[in-house]
Amino acid sequence: MNYQIKKSSELTDHETQHILSLWEVPEWSGMTPSDFRSFFKNSEFHFISGSEDEIPAIVRLNFDFFLEISGKQYSFAEAVGLVSAQKKRGYGSQLVQSFKENLIQRKIETIGFCFADLRPFYQQCNIEILENKAKAILENSENRWISSEDDDILIFNGSGETRELLRQLNPEKNAYLITKNNTMNYKNPDEHGYYGEFGGAFIPEMLYPNVEELQKNYLKIIESEEFQDEYQDLLKNYVGRATPLYFAKNLSRKYNTQIYLKREDLNHTGAHKINNALGQVLLAKRLGKTRIIAETGAGQHGVATATACALLGLECIVYMGEIDIQRQAPNVARMKMLGAEVIPATSGSKTLKDAVNEALRDWINNPVTTHYVIGSVVGPHPFPDLVARFQSIISKEIREQLKEKIGRENPDYVIACVGGGSNAAGTFYHFVEEKEVKIIAAEAGGLGIDSGKSAATTFLGTLGVLHGSKSLVMQTEDGQVIEPHSISAGLDYPGIGPFHAHLFKEKRAEFFSINDEEALQSAFELTKLEGIIPALESSHALAVLDKKKFREEDIVVICLSGRGDKDMETYLREIRS
């Protein structure tokens, strides 16, 4: 038998599945190897191996673990998940002995926990047992501190000071267990661009040099001090950030809860899209690109990209569905005035999906000089992560503004509309790993989920590949994309980004389908109650207020992703009817 140590990223797919079968944890039974590596990214796996990839015994060393005692934090590693495939064969005690020797050699202070009936086993392994001391350790469960289910603390390796500290624990002197080992990494993809099973880069060979160039350089560039200095200066002095977090007192009174609106509609160009467009055009310049292409649905991303190109002196071509050009005429005029060439997409449904197709074809034909500024958290890796990082300024500001207004950083709920999902990714970004914050996404239900005219992907979609990434896609049984429908051009898309598909699959976010009529009524309601005319996209998020009951004391933050002047023709048509 060989003693081995591997990080989660070093485990083979076979090893991850074998370990899960040994642990027999029901809620982990469907975990993919990619999920496993992300979930346990800060752990080591110590095991003994036999022939034919057999793992007779395994224990996990968890580094995301510390105890808070009398207001002070003490770091330990935690030994957890010790299991032997066959009882009374000596595999478990053999592993524990090698494990303990390794910890002592590496000077890693490590504790564990056990039930009282396992004391004889650990006594046989010469592990120090602090009997009944685990009951003095409190764990957080649904925002309440409760006693540990374990009985004893195990000391695999620890200093005299550590031993004395733990011996002093009692019902009057508790320790608080603080760990993130049960938190998925929702914010960022793995090194291959996957959020769980969603993401990746499924692209034609002609695009490999472009995408690979981005993958290798985007983090290095956008995290550099020089880039951030210029980008943050533009966000503050050109875009007008930080955008207000407005307490909507009239809306709050009607729904008997505390509603705050994140006013992305007050950005320069009238929507959140400028956050990403400026960042990507700055990135493109540093990559030596001279020509920018973009797709747009509602026109907000097209306007933002044309604005950034005008400011920074780059050629700009925007692809837009022929139908969207008609229903978003004010934004088309803005793009042209800003110097962009607007090219209609005349295939398919002549909406956002088809504009993305045309932009990708352009990029294939012009790979050297051109950068494609994708406007949402869709497309091949690294675009979903790149766009989410640029839009994360939204949730960063929400935390800071809530702290100033109410004395705490986290709301009870954050709500945003989701098409591809860029404003939602930005709104959720800094909250997805905060368990106490509930996340709600509003999709475009169109004329109804069962009407054949909808864009509610989480209700209607299945696993597929769209525009270079694996995600949930509205498609037929043989993989043909189903044409979506929404009154909102920005949500008229037959898929969602992999970031959101992962949140949906893991039940980290609650998704609602909002019909056209519900969105319209919410737009008129906000206008009449607060004097704010929202974009139709944002109105889908507002409509959640009629779908879900909130408590009076709940802090509910809704992203008002854009202003409604682009949708005035639709609103006027509704008024006349």
**Same-domain check for residues 444 and 566:** yes
**Same-domain check for residues 260 and 294:** no
CA–CA dist 393, 391 (Å, integer): 5
**Same-domain check for residues 278 and 260:** no
Whether residue 163 lies inside any domain: the answer is: yes
288 class by beta-carbon count within 10 Å (0-12 exposed, 13-18 middle, 19+ buried): exposed
Q: What are phi and psi of 500, to 5 degrees?
A: -75, -35
CB neighbour list of residue 421: distance below 8 Å, 6 or more residues apart: 376, 377, 378, 441, 496, 497, 499, 500
**Same-domain check for residues 127 and 19:** yes
- Contact indicator for 272, 394 with CB cutoff of 8 Å: yes
Active site residue 561: yes
CA–CA dist 83, 22 (Å, integer): 7
Whether residue 365 lies inside any domain: the answer is: yes
**Looking at residue 67, which CATH number applies to its domain?**
3.40.630.30
Q: For residue 264, give Cα distances in angstroms to 388, 438, 500, 525, 565.
A: 15, 21, 20, 19, 14
Whether residue 192 lies inside any domain: the answer is: no
Please pick, among 84, 98, 252, 561, the residue that the annotation labels catalytic: 561
Instruction: Please give the pLDDT value at position 527.
Output: 98
What range does the domain containing 157 cover? 2-179
Instruction: Please give the pLDDT value at position 144.
Output: 64
CA–CA dist 531, 27 (Å, integer): 47
Whether residue 78 lies inside any domain: the answer is: yes
Mean pLDDT, consecutive 10-residue segments, the chain of 577 residues?
Answer: 88 88 82 82 88 83 83 83 82 92 92 93 94 87 72 93 89 76 69 92 90 94 95 98 98 98 97 97 97 92 97 97 90 96 92 90 92 96 97 96 95 96 97 91 97 96 95 94 92 95 94 98 98 98 97 97 93 91
Please tell me the pTM assigned to this model. Answer: 0.71
Whether residue 494 lies inside any domain: the answer is: yes
**Looking at residue 457, which CATH number applies to its domain?**
3.40.50.1100
**Same-domain check for residues 143 and 74:** yes
Whether residue 529 lies inside any domain: the answer is: yes
Instruction: Please give the pLDDT value at position 63.
Output: 86
Whether residue 463 lies inside any domain: the answer is: yes
**Same-domain check for residues 70 and 212:** no
Whether residue 517 lies inside any domain: the answer is: yes
Please pick, among 78, 197, 264, 295, the residue that the annotation labels catalytic: 295
**Same-domain check for residues 408 and 371:** no
CA–CA dist 150, 506 (Å, integer): 27
Please pick, among 187, 273, 470, 566, the residue that the annotation labels catalytic: 273
Chain centroid offset of residue 576 CA:
41
Instruction: Please give the pLDDT value at position 182.
Output: 43
- Contact indicator for 536, 487 with CB cutoff of 8 Å: yes
**Same-domain check for residues 32 and 175:** yes
**Same-domain check for residues 253 and 317:** no
**Same-domain check for residues 135 and 13:** yes
Identify the domain boundary among 358, 386, 414.
386
Identify the domain boundary among 386, 408, 431.
386
Residue that the structure tokens 């985007």 belong to? 218
**Same-domain check for residues 222 and 366:** yes
**Same-domain check for residues 438 and 323:** no
Active site residue 295: yes
SS3 234: helix
Give the count of domains, the chain: 3
The sign of the torsion formed by the CA atoms of 372, 376, 379, 381 equals positive
Identify the domain boundary among 365, 386, 407.
386
